[in-house]
Amino acid sequence: MTIDLKTVKHISKLSRISIDDNKAKKLGKDLNSIFSFIEKLNELDTKNTEPLTSIAETTLKLRKDEIKSENIREDILKNSPDKNKDFFVVPKVVE
Amino acid sequence: MSKNNGEYLIIRNDNKYEVIIGLEVHAQVLSESKLFSTSSTKFGSEPNTQVSLVDAAFPGMLPVINEHCIKQAVKTGIGLKAKINKRSIFDRKNYFYADLPQGYQISQYKNPIVGEGSVTLDMPNGEKNIGIERLHLEQDAGKSIHDIDPQSTLVDLNRSGVALMEIVSKPDLRSLDEVNAYIKKLRSIMRYLGTCDGNMQEGSLRADVNVSVRKKGDKKLGTRCEIKNVNSIKFMQMAIDFEANRQVDVIEEGGSIDQETRLFDTKKNETRSMRSKEDAHDYRYFPDPDLLPLELNDNYIDQIKKDIPELPDEKKKRFIEKFKLSPYEANILVSDIEISKYFEEVSKNSDVKLATNWITGELFALLNEKNIEITESPISSKNLSKLINLIKDGTISGKIAKSVFEIMRDGDKDPITIVEEKGLKQQSDPKELENLIDKVITENPKNVEAYKSGKDKLFGFFVGQVMKNSNGKANPKLVNEILKKKFK
Amino acid sequence: MSNITDLKLVELVDKIKKKELSSTEVTIAFIERSKKSKKLNTYISENYENAIKKAKIFDQKPDFKKKLPGIPIAVKDLFCTKNIRTTAGSKILENFVPTYESTVTQNILDEGGIIIGKLNCDEFAMGSSNETSYFGNVQNPVSENLVPGGSSGGSSSALAAKLTPATIGTDTGGSIRQPASFTGTVGLKPTYGSCSRYGIVAFASSLDQAGPMTHDVKDCSLMFEIMSTYDIKDSTSVDFKRENYLTNLNENIKGKKIGIPKEYRVDGMPKEIDELWEKGIKIIKENGGQIIEISLPNTNYALPTYYIVAPAEASSNLARYDGVKYGFRSKGENLIDMYEKTRSEGFGDEVKRRIMIGTYVLSSGYYDAYYLKAQKVRRLIKNDFDEAYKKVDAILTPSTPSSAFKIGEKLNDPVSMYLNDIFTVPINLAGLPAISIPAGHDKKGYPLGLQVIGKAFDEQSILNIAFALEKNISFKNNITDWWIK
Ligand SMILES: [Mg+2]
Ligand SMILES: [Zn+2]
């Protein structure tokens, strides 16, 4: 299979990464070579194989319902590129 | 066009359309801390003060699940008579939004914690079962505020990561009344269980509404539209009404419905396509590699089952059987756990019938007038039962009781004290009553004659006069009896 | 006395405990050498002044019960460090200063370690040559213009150049072992769930694991002992019995069954690597170990599997870098425009490439064909190892199919770059521990490594086997100080 330019653009949209046409072409080429190498997996019959989601040899551990986090608003906002005293600030969202 | 009684039809040009509704209710889990972090879930705090590093998705932060939220979901599942899945998986739902700090929502996709169940609605024309498709746990997003700053959107992450139960119904709802009943019933069940406070003003209960229409008689479901995040029953009904009519218009004009997500504009009372979000509408669900599958054993589930309180359906049955209430009365009294608690407290020590009437009558009117919940009632269940006992044992009449109630509502005063202080005790001494009656008879000879010659209606006049002369304190039952004897 | 910076970690600890050296002396020595080694470009952020202050405080009230008493350590810039800038080698985190500490670095601090700086790495650990870092290439001290491996390239280079007595890296597909192999150092990728991932900038959550990089196996045992703790803040952390790996370290491998997977003899592998492998096999036999030929039939599918699983997880893990909460933001006309520009300008090409691959394999219509398929093959790969471990205690392979290459050599051919990790990737997919130790040099004089793969949570066994190999190989690093004028 080949990944065409339209698909590259669609993926870039989904990824929220803008790319110009030149980059998209180059990326398309890279992706095609990577995927032709990935296609190797089709050689394997996995009809009766259970997918492996987690390799951790443990069960999901549970936490008590306790409040341990204090108000750390200053820390939370500290690294934000745009904020005011109370909020993160982002460009206007139009719905 | 009828929207009620199980049939909601839209008629255009001789075509009858049936409206099919399914709800995805988002119910906030009652818990101290969030689903995957230890920050507080308290409502109404200063912006961004209940945000941990995990909630704001700082690099390297990892989710650790809150056991209580799991228990709450299982409880709710049991309340919905649903299958509890012993193995469930947390997935990531990927999309970008300002109030979604991780760039994904941790949710459950293919393997939810709760499977199929059902909810019974009491409709005027009988019971109706609404199928539950599933219930899953997921994180809430933060809040984007668009109306403070004209240039920018502000983001508050206090809600970010709060546990939600998404309860998905089957497309079994057929009218606006059913939607109303369904939401109320869900809310009631969760409040009984203590798994969600159901507070719609605070956003503890919201719904995505799926609406489709089909020509009456068609078997195949039409294409549905999903109206996102509607936060009151009234708005849900308005949105459905608008959307169903819109779809019928489209079909009648020869068009077809696009499956899409729409937004309900409460000011314009219309639904609007959210196409801006649509172009990147591929959530790329996959199992969250930061979490492992959640495994529950029978023991755990059985333990929770044991602790499930009596739920509205069972309580209603018991009220009807034990207290001989009508289904209608029982429905009202079990509709909310706090009402049912209040009722049981009152009726424990006093007459059930009177308790029912006083709660659904006077007390509800008072709560309505003050626009308050029963938990905030100015009259305690203890004092209301005392008042009822005063009526029952003849100390005061029902009419006097009403004026006592009026005094009680300003400060929950003990009705016994009120009756004593104001001297409202009913006159039940037959001798005194006879004196009063005799006086009325001698003062109204013409009426006595008229009554005796057949004007039966005048009996009420004599009772009224006696009551009036006693300042309402005469025991009306005894007055009746004595009068009847006198006129024999 | 020899130069302080020539000493190994365990030796330094010993000398400080014996009060032959102070923390301040040691810290200053490594900092001075680091200052003279800017040409290697190993550091992204320096913490020199603060470190010296801390060393002085340690010396005023030394606690010799600690395992790293006042020992200076530079760490990979993927570990979040409180009040020290943490970039993950990316422009998008160029100015990010965490208010929190990763569990692994906290463990180091708790044992008396002092962080002297943050080391260069491939951007978000995506790379095998440290060439994807926003902060530039790192030089391999072995030879000029040679890559130090990746993604923990700053770590391997700084360690080999003796700018830090030991260091830590992260390994998602080989990112500790391959750079260790390229620089003639020791690198351990522990069992998944052994070291907490809390506070480590995530690349691929189901594969990422932190581990030590050191001059020898002893140092490695000590560092691992410190790093590996059970952590309730990481749901995938495993509560297994942790050993005193250094105390238990011994070279007795008598009766140990060592598997040699035939599938690792890949076409076109340089003869030197084959010879190195034979050398390892011979040493094991000579020391009473038993060599058993095994088969890991799905080895060839590991790389394609990895290049689905890792990018898929990464595409989601990196969605949080959106210019809102922290890091770089580009101006945009609206929110979406801001996201797209921020991420386009903030991420480098390799990261963008992997995000795109990951997005694609998860997207509707392709999930089953790629992501689900990869998860299934991952199970087959794990089964291979489970099968093998019924017969053997550990597995011996080369660490990499080639020695270090020149900077720029593979930059335009992603697939050939990816092939670098062919021997290391299967181990991450199976969640197993593996150690790379230096075992020889190729014709060019570049170091080559051998890899010992263990059973889950059996780090002690592979440390012991590596210890035995190390004794018998007596590898000598031939690094000159060419970069110091
Ligand atoms: Mg929905
Ligand atoms: Zn939802």
Q: What is the CATH number of the domain that holds C204?
A: 3.90.1300.10
Per-residue pLDDT at C279: 96
Nearest to C236 among B58, B286, B290 (CB): B290
Q: Is B147 on the interface with A (CB under 8 A)?
A: no
Q: Is A1 on the interface with C (CB under 8 A)?
A: no
Q: Is the domain of B111 the same as that of B163? A: yes
Read off the pLDDT band of B280 (50, 70, 90): low
**Ligand nearest the Cα atom of residue B166:** 2
Nearest to C100 among B53, B98, B285 (CB): B53
Cβ atoms within 10 Å, residue A88:
29
Which residues of chain A from 47 to 76 reach within 8 Å of chain C, CB to CB?
A: 49-58, 60-61, 63, 72, 75-76
Secondary structure (3-state) at C81: strand
Q: Is the domain of B189 the same as that of B238? A: yes
For residue A59, give Cα distances in angstroms to A63, B437, C428.
Answer: 13, 84, 19
**Is residue C392 within 8 Å of residue C257, measured between CB atoms?**
yes
Task: State yes or no: pLDDT of B61 exceeds 50.
Answer: yes
Contacts of C363 in chain B (CB under 8 A): 282, 284
Q: Is residue C264 part of a domain?
A: no
Nearest chain C residue (CA) to B66: C235
Q: Is residue C46 part of a domain?
A: yes
What is the domain range of residue B333?
310-422
**Ligand nearest the Cα atom of residue B93:** 2
**Is residue B463 within 8 Å of residue B447, measured between CB atoms?**
no
Contact A38 C370 (CB under 8 A): yes
Q: Which of B304, B333, B366 is the last residue of a domain?
A: B304
Q: Is the domain of B189 the same as that of B103? A: yes
Chain C closest CA to A65's CA: distance in Å? 14
Q: Is residue C401 part of a domain?
A: no
**Bond from prior residue into C151 cis (ω within 30 degrees of 0):** yes
Contact B96 A65 (CB under 8 A): no
Q: Is B158 on the interface with A (CB under 8 A)?
A: no
What is the domain range of residue C22?
4-257
Q: Is residue C484 part of a domain?
A: no
Q: Is A12 on the interface with C (CB under 8 A)?
A: yes
B-interface mutation test, from A16, A67, A77, A85, most B Cβ less than 10 A away: A67
Q: Write out pLDDT tens, residues B348-406.
A: 989 999 999 999 999 999 999 999 999 999 999 999 999 999 999 888 888 889 989 99
The pLDDT of B181-204, averaged and rounded, is 95
**Ligand nearest the Cα atom of residue B23:** 1
Q: Is the domain of B341 the same as that of B450? A: no
List helix spans (H) across B253-375: 275-278, 298-306, 312-323, 327-334, 337-348, 352-358, 364-370
Contacts of B284 in chain A (CB under 8 A): 14
Which residues of chain A have a Cβ shorter than 8 Å from any chain B Cβ? 13-14, 16, 53-54, 56, 58-69, 71-73, 75-77, 82, 84, 86-95
Contact C376 A72 (CB under 8 A): no
Per-residue pLDDT at C340: 97
Per-residue pLDDT at B3: 46
Q: Is the domain of B85 the same as that of B166? A: yes
Contact C301 A41 (CB under 8 A): yes
Q: Is B62 on the interface with A (CB under 8 A)?
A: no
**Ligand nearest the Cα atom of residue B138:** 2
List helix spans (H) across C36-176: 48-60, 103-110, 153-160
Secondary structure (3-state) at C122: coil
Domain count for chain C, please give it.
1
Q: Write out pLDDT tens, residues B306-348.
A: 999 999 999 999 999 999 999 999 999 999 999 999 999 999 9
**Which residue in the block uniquely carries the two structure tokens 């929110």?**
C335
Q: Is B297 on the interface with A (CB under 8 A)?
A: no
Contacts of B146 in chain A (CB under 8 A): 92-93
Instruction: Give the helix/strand (H/E) hosting C373.
Output: helix C373-388
Per-residue pLDDT at A59: 87
Task: State yes or no: pLDDT of B6 exceeds 80.
Answer: no
Known catalytic residues of C are 76, 151, 175
Q: Is B89 on the interface with A (CB under 8 A)?
A: yes
Q: Is the domain of B283 the same as that of B328? A: no
Q: Is the domain of B50 the same as that of B154? A: yes
The pLDDT of B228-235, averaged and rounded, is 94
Looking at every residue in chain C, the average pLDDT score rounds to 96
Q: Write out pLDDT tens, residues B81-131.
A: 999 999 999 999 999 999 999 999 999 999 999 999 999 999 988 899 999
Contact C198 B53 (CB under 8 A): no
Contacts of A60 in chain B (CB under 8 A): 65, 291-295
Q: Is residue C204 part of a domain?
A: yes
Most confidently modeled range among A31-45, B469-483, C189-203: C189-203
A-interface mutation test, from C352, C376, C428, C432, most A Cβ less than 10 A away: C376
Task: State yes or no: pLDDT of B455 exceeds 90.
Answer: no
Contacts of C362 in chain B (CB under 8 A): 94, 284-286
Q: Is the domain of B104 the same as that of B132? A: yes
Task: State yes or no: pLDDT of C457 exceeds 90.
Answer: yes
The pLDDT of A3-9, averaged and rounded, is 93
Sequence ranges of the domains in chain A? 5-42
Torsions phi, psi of B26, nearest 5?
A: -100, 110
How big is the CA angle at C384 (ends C383 and C386), to the nearest 5 degrees? 60
Which residues of chain C from 91 to 120 reach within 8 Å of chain A, CB to CB?
A: 95-97, 99
CA atoms of B207 and B23, how far apart (whole Å): 6
Q: Is the domain of B278 the same as that of B212? A: yes
C113 phi-psi bin (left φ>0, alpha ψ -120 to 50, beta other): beta
Contact C338 A79 (CB under 8 A): no
Q: Write out pLDDT tens, residues A32-55.
A: 999 998 999 999 999 999 999 888
Contact C193 A31 (CB under 8 A): no
B-interface mutation test, from A15, A92, A93, A94, most B Cβ less than 10 A away: A93
Q: Is the domain of B57 the same as that of B180? A: yes
Output the CA B25–ligand 2 centroid distance in Å.
8
Looking at every residue in chain B, the average pLDDT score rounds to 92
Chain C closest CA to A19's CA: distance in Å? 7
Q: Is the domain of B224 the same as that of B248? A: yes
Buried-exposed string B408-418: b where 16+ CB fall within 10 A, e elsewhere: bbeeeeebeeb
Per-residue pLDDT at B117: 98
Q: Write out pLDDT tens, residues B291-312.
A: 999 999 999 999 999 999 999 9
Least confident span in B257-271, B457-471, C133-147, C284-298: B457-471
Nearest chain A residue (CA) to B50: A71
Q: Is residue C473 part of a domain?
A: no
**Is residue C338 within 8 Å of residue C323, measured between CB atoms?**
yes
Chain A closest CA to B155's CA: distance in Å? 5
Contacts of A80 in chain C (CB under 8 A): 324-326
CA atoms of A44 and C301, how far apart (whole Å): 9
Q: Is B302 on the interface with A (CB under 8 A)?
A: no
Contact B94 C319 (CB under 8 A): yes
Which residues of chain C from 318 to 347 reach within 8 Å of chain A, CB to CB?
A: 319, 322-329, 332-341, 343-344, 347
The pLDDT of B17-38, averaged and rounded, is 98
Nearest chain C residue (CA) to B283: C363
The pLDDT of C115-127, averaged and rounded, is 98
Write out the DSSP string of A22-70. HHHHHHHHHHHHHHHHHGGGGGS--TTPPP-----SS---EE-S-----
Q: Tokens standing for C368?
A: 């089953």
Q: Are strands C257-261 and C290-294 parallel, antiparallel or unpaired?
A: parallel
Per-residue pLDDT at C1: 46
Read off the pLDDT band of A95 (50, 70, 90): low
